[in-house]
Amino acid sequence: MAAAASVEQDFQSYLARYRAEHADDVLVVDEAVSSDQDITAVVAALAREGRHPLTYFERVEGLSTPVATNVFASRERIARLFGVAPTGLHEAYQARARKLLVPRVVASGPVCDVVQEDGLDLRTLPLLRHFETDRAPYITNAILIAEHPDTGAGNMSYHRSMLHSPTEIATSLHSRGDLWRLLQLAIERGRPLPVAMVIGAHPLFMLAGSARVPYGTDERHVAGGLLGATMEVVRTPHHCITVPAAAGIVLEGVIDPAAKVDEGPFGEFTGYSSDRSTNNLLRVQTIMRRHSPILVDIVGGNSAEHLNLARIPREAEMVEKLKQRFPSVTALHYPNSGTHFHAYVALKQMRPGEARQVMLGLMGWDPYLKTVIAVDPDVDVTRDEDVLWALATHFQPHRDLLIVDGLPGSALDPSASGVGTTSRMGLDATRGADFHGVRAKISGRASERAEAILRRR
């Protein structure tokens, strides 16, 4: 399948095109809903039915903008961004992410329609409360951009963000990633850290915010690669940080290294409400927005959207690493049921112990993983029930269990130690050389007759 052209750089154009091309995959809710949990509840109800459409709410009480959500809940919908089938998503993502394209600075763009530097009131922003247990309404799609003071290399990353005052945002840098490094550098130099927060942009820009790249790689260049076109950017008024010219809303300001504020609890990807936070304060100096923005929401908690947005870039990187080192690997999948803590890997073992080596590689490369299950190539790793069947029929605990203790884990894992360490487990559910079972099969002719019967009914 040929790669789709990606000339659009704003969410509005993407949404209009997707509604025209895939109307059956978009649910439009035209009745008024509350900004207090209704949107999360609708998406959760759809998920219980096995449905994950892009969902567009035309009227949300208390908001002056419509809300689009659940964009990343479907792997097929994400794959369509790259013009491929879901089976080709990892390869397509990596291919585009490696083609770094430096953005082009333009004088103005839609996000410059309204630029406010005086009399700021963040309470005018479209904010949603996602869970009853959330401390307050949250911005769940906040992509913070900061630039290295010496090299100018930008870093983009997601951080949950809560209104603290009319001019301040409480946020958490709990990932302790590259933005945390830049904050430490600012602290060493005795300065606040200038940042820009992008709220609502093209889905491929949003995927770039989850990219897994080495420190110093500018994710804005990755965004250009994913878009397949040079991204147009504008500079923010105070700190000249380049942001997408076609973004919906941008907040510019500084993270005050000395300030600590209450933040959380918030419904995290684990499915638990987490109050673990670095309690950072962002002082906003500028609000930039287009005339008619759409609030592009990310469903919080352990929703398919929240998990997929972070998981697709992670999977793509891990698949590439594994196949380069272990050509026997045929498939990798991080299931929704395991949040970010479980992975299933399929491989055709070429020698005894290779499944263990593959699992150790995964557990070493991905600090979030706690459990890896290895299966044979004929097991569909995208189906929990198939992997659990392999575990039930091939696995012997005394022989096939591997445990490693005392490794760094996710700060948001509610079962992790007080210092954030975790143990990791590998389960070898491959058949092994001495396995003699024969799978029960249905003939192809009988399967075809069954399908014909069901079609007629």
What is the structure's pLDDT at 409? 81
283/367 same-domain check: no
On whether residue 217 sits in a domain, the answer given is: yes
Does residue 42 contact residue 34 with C-beta atoms inside 8 Å? Answer: no
Instruction: Residue 386: give the domain boundaries.
Output: 326-428
For residue 273, what is the DSSP state?
Answer: E
State residue 418's pLDDT score: 66
Are both 258 and 367 inside the same structural domain?
A: no
pLDDT at 5: 37
If you average pLDDT over residues 409-418, what whole number do you get? Answer: 76
Residue 377: pLDDT over 90: yes
193 or 368: whose pLDDT is higher? Answer: 193
Mean pLDDT of 18-42: 95
Calpha distance 35→305 (Å, rounded): 19
Whether residue 253 is found in the same domain as residue 109: yes
Q: Which residue has the higher pLDDT, 285 or 436?
A: 285
Q: How confident is the model at residue 269 (pLDDT cuts 50, 70, 90)?
A: confident
- Cα–Cα distance between 173 and 161 in angstroms, integer? 10
Flag whether 445 is in a domain. Answer: no
- Greatest CA separation found in the chain? 75
Question: What are the pLDDT digits (tens) for 348-371?
Answer: 998 899 999 999 999 989 888 999
Query: What's the CATH code of the domain at 145?
Result: 2.30.110.10
Do residue 128 and residue 222 come from a single domain?
A: yes
Residue type, 65: T
Same domain membership, residue 182 and residue 275: yes
Other CB atoms within 10 A of residue 138 CB: 26
In angstroms, the CA 153 to CA 336 distance is 33
CA within 13 Å, CB half, 264? 21
Q: Are residues 216 and 277 in the same domain?
A: yes
The predicted structure's pLDDT at residue 214 = 83
Which pLDDT score is estimated for 175? 65
Kindly give, in sequence order, each residue whose CB lies less than 8 Å from that of residue 10, ignoring residues fewer than 6 positions away. 110, 201, 202, 246, 247
For position 264, what pLDDT does the model report? 83
Mean pLDDT of all residues belonging to the chain: 91
**Same-domain pairing of 167 and 292:** yes
Q: Lowest mean pLDDT of 49-53, 176-180, 220-224, 270-274, name the range.
A: 270-274
CATH number of the domain to which 414 belongs: 3.40.1670.10
Per-residue model confidence (pLDDT) at position 107: 95
Query: Are 237 and 139 within one domain?
Result: yes
Q: Is residue 446 part of a domain?
A: no
28 within 8 A of 2, measured Cβ to Cβ: no
Residue 44 lies in a domain: no
Say how far apart CA 272 and CA 249 lie, in whole Å.
29
Domain count of the fold of the chain: 2
Which has the closest alpha carbon to 38: 69, 81, 84, 64?
Answer: 69
Residues 169 and 253 in one domain: yes
Average pLDDT over residues 137-146: 93
Confidence of residue 270 (pLDDT cuts 50, 70, 90): confident
Examine the domain organization and report whether 241 and 338 are in the same domain. no
Distance CA 200, CA 204 (A): 11
Q: pLDDT tens digit string along 296-355?
A: 999 988 788 988 888 899 999 999 999 999 999 999 999 988 888 899 999 999 889 999
3-state secondary structure of 48: helix
**117 lies in a domain?**
yes
Q: How far apart are CA 207 and CA 220, in angstroms?
A: 11
Residues 283 and 386 in one domain: no
- Tokens found for residue 439: 């799978």
pTM: 0.88
The arithmetic mean of pLDDT across residues 66-75, rounded, is 95
Residue 9 · residue 244 · CB < 8 Å: yes
